[in-house]
Chains A and B, each alone.
Chain A
Amino acid sequence: MTPYLALLLVPMPAMGAFLLLGLGPAQFERRAIQTIALLGAVAPAVVMLPLGAYCLTGTCDGVQPIFDLTVGDAVVALALMLDPLSAIVGVTVTLIGACVIGYSIDYMAKADVADLRRYFALMNLFLASMLCMVLAGDSIVFFLGWELMGLCSFFLIAYHVTSPRAIAAGRKAFVITRVADAFLLAGLLLLFIEAGNVRLDVLIPAGIATEEVRRGLIAFLLLGGALGKSAQLPFHTWLPSAMAGPTPVSALLHSATMVAAGAYLLARFAPIMESVPLAMAVTAVMGAATALFGAASAVFQKDIKRLLAYSSISQIGFMLLALGLGQPEVAIAHFVVHAIFKSLLFLAAGDITQIARGTTDISAMRGALWSRPLAYLAFVAGAASLAGIPLITAGWFSKEAILSAAWLAGPFGVVLWGVALASAVLTATYAFRPVFTGLTRIGRPKASLGGLFTNLPILFLAAGTFAVAPLVEPIMNFLGAEMPHGPKAVELVGAAAPFIGLGLAAALTFVPTLSMRVARARRMRSGIRIDSIYQVIFVQPFVGLVRWLNGEKGGIADPVGTLPILGAERLAAAVIRPFAHDPVDRGWAGFSAGMVRAWGAGRRMQSGRVRDYVLALGLGLAAFLLIAWGTTWR
């Protein structure tokens, strides 16, 4: 009985909560729903923490098989795995999940019971599937978790089913991530073909051993899958729209965990990626470009949630940059840190905007210091970590590691370092814009405190951003790498970056002309209109095609369906109709008619003339005699 058996128990509570809430036939009251959901969210954390601790003690390379399927020569061995990577990410996910679902109890308090039940069921399913993916020991469980996460994302973004905007956003997210998932699936299948087994510990060595072209193909396919799920360029357009979902959804899925799944994918398959230098280069470049693009777009956002969404895009770009530089441990460390402060930011912002009657405009932050001090201060803590305020926040350590890794990666790395540095400056800018907006006061706001379930998670996470700071390096060491340190000068420049950004933020907030220019920068706000470009290139032709196939706008309704029918009709006319009067049938009819004629002719034999009959008899007699005579021949 290995301790790894407990791995199976980690996703189970969440899955159980989903089954109960989502599919259970009984009616639940509000309190019951909330209890079940909370249990389903907290229990995995409770199981995971000891497992993580066990992992710390040493042997942390265990595989817990689930079951095996033998398909011909190949063995499909499903399993869960516990190694440093999955332990770290698993602990992070379970803790953040527990925090967010606990927070949802207060946040969603006003929803009616049916919607609440749906919400919590889906959140628990998401948690279960993310844990499946994180703890997966084989590519099938991995992909299963991946896909289920995408499905939950769709349902949760479109949680407000009465809002067409939400449904459209959910659909966009699902379609874009689905396209990327196709790449991932192709990559995993190619690996399976190479390896003949689905276990990750067999797939990865087999992947490294394949010949170069195929290995490169696999690496790029995996990269494509990661880019889509993590909302990186060019697949990023779904994430800002996905903010149409409730804030806890954004906190859990679209900031902390799901979007970082791409980074986890690349970290897990890092050995394969590292063996294809071209893929690594592309990853690093895409990561840096996305980081800059995301940060730049975030500066100009008017809506807090969209700002935080672009921020996620940018931060995951940083993670991909680290992965592309061959430092998956640094990327995972940043993943952990990002999960903490991003979810904190969302939860705090959600609490503050609830006061402002639910609008998520940045102006809702006004006077937050006074109206919701706890949440506001937590927000400040998160923003500080996001900006990477040196030495006290965890964000500083991980970001500095990434910058150093970039600097140390040769001349091309210096270019990347420059890009990352610019992104860091912009990061601090957009991070503190809401903070400074919160300092502006309108009227005399009354201070209020949120509910227990609101404040506990926020406090916990806020403490986490500071508490994890000294843990960043140990995390990296635990994952098996040293924290990279560039030259001191480079580090100092990196330390200065957040403050420059801070200054910029203050300027943009308080200097009217600048703030007006920001307000009017529509193209930057819409992310250089990439979304609109996609709409024109991909969506509109597709919708037009669908309409045409449906028969609107002058097409034949369902040509794919009617073409075979038309073809069949034409075939019938050409081949079958000539036979419709069925020559064979006609032949038979003619035969029978001919028989009638023959019989008519035969009746003439019955002439009534004796001599004719005699003639016939005589002929018959002649024949018989001839035969008889013939028999005497010998």
Chain B
Amino acid sequence: MSGAAIFAVWAGAVALVAMALAVTRPNVVHALIWVVAGLLSLASGFFALGAGFAGAVQILIYAGAIIAVFVFVVMTIDSGPAAMAAERARLATGWKGPLALVLLVLAPAVLGLAGAGGAGGAPQPVPARDLGVLLFGPWAVAVELASAMLIAALLGARHLARREGGE
């Protein structure tokens, strides 16, 4: 494996650890910070793989916009020590089953993938221009549909989150 590939794998591993930590924090904000960490490491991995646009977009939009929105909302809630204690209590119990399930899913995936082999070669960088051609060419309709979905999500969120009259 080429150096870039090794780095990409390393970055992915880091992201994995960060995510694992993210889901197990009793404090929401801590969880979110760990998610950001994971996203950033993934982005670096993308860069190593030659997917520059993907990495950039990951930082800008995923970590920058989506998680930011998350943080805004979190700011409106009350996350005092009582809430954190409650979360901790909840976390302590009931993790064995899900862990077993996860491992149950992981095992065949990994084994299957491991047995596949033959996926040699160095990562090939994909210039952004090729992506642009793709998105505005053959996938243009899909892009339009995606934008329609965004509009629907916008309106839905606006509607669901509105305050009732007189509140």
A residues contacting B by CB (< 8 A) are: 615, 618-619, 621-622, 625-626, 628-630, 632
Contacts and interface: CB of A to CB of B under 8 A. Distances in A.
A629 B106 CA distance: 11
B112 A618 contact: no
A626 B108 contact: yes
A615 B111 contact: no
Interface in B39-72: none
A622 B112 contact: no
B161 interface: no
A618 B115 contact: no
B128 interface: no
B104 A622 contact: yes
Nearest to B101: A618
Interface in B92-122: 98, 101-102, 104-105, 108-109, 111-112, 115-116
Secondary structure class of chain A's binding surface, majority of residues: helix
B102 A632 contact: no
A615 B109 contact: no
B108 A618 contact: no
B115 A632 contact: yes
A237 B133 CA distance: 129
A622 B105 contact: yes
Contacts of B101: 615, 618-619, 622
Interface residues of B, number: 11
A632 B101 CA distance: 22
27 contacts: A615-B98, A615-B101, A618-B98, A618-B101, A618-B102, A618-B105, A619-B101, A621-B105, A622-B101, A622-B104, A622-B105, A622-B108, A625-B105, A625-B108, A625-B109, A625-B112, A626-B108, A628-B108, A628-B112, A629-B108, A629-B109, A629-B111, A629-B112, A630-B108, A632-B112, A632-B115, A632-B116
B124 to A, nearest CB: 26
A621 B104 CA distance: 10
A163 B51 CA distance: 129
Nearest 3 A-B pairs (CB), nearest first? Answer: A629-B108, A629-B112, A622-B105
B166 to A, nearest CB: 29
A615 B94 CA distance: 13
A628 B111 CA distance: 11
Contacts of B98: 615, 618
A552 to B, nearest CB: 87
Nearest to A611: B98
A630 B105 CA distance: 13
A621 to B, nearest CB: 6
Contacts of B116: 632
A423 to B, nearest CB: 121
Contacts of B111: 629
Given A618-B105, A628-B108, A628-B112, 10 more contacts: A615-B98, A618-B98, A621-B105, A622-B108, A625-B105, A626-B108, A629-B108, A629-B109, A629-B111, A632-B116
Contacts of A619: 101
Contacts of A618: 98, 101-102, 105
B109 to A, nearest CB: 5
Nearest to B103: A622
Contacts of B115: 632
A626 B101 CA distance: 12
Contacts of A626: 108
Contacts of A622: 101, 104-105, 108
Nearest to A634: B115
A622 to B, nearest CB: 4
A469 B108 CA distance: 130
A627 to B, nearest CB: 8
Contacts of B102: 618
A428 B92 CA distance: 140
B90 to A, nearest CB: 11
A370 to B, nearest CB: 139
Nearest to B109: A625
Nearest to A621: B105
Nearest to A631: B112
Nearest to B110: A629
A268 B22 CA distance: 127
A618 B108 CA distance: 13
Nearest to B108: A629
A125 to B, nearest CB: 103
A609 to B, nearest CB: 12
A356 B16 CA distance: 144
Nearest to B105: A622
Contacts of B109: 625, 629
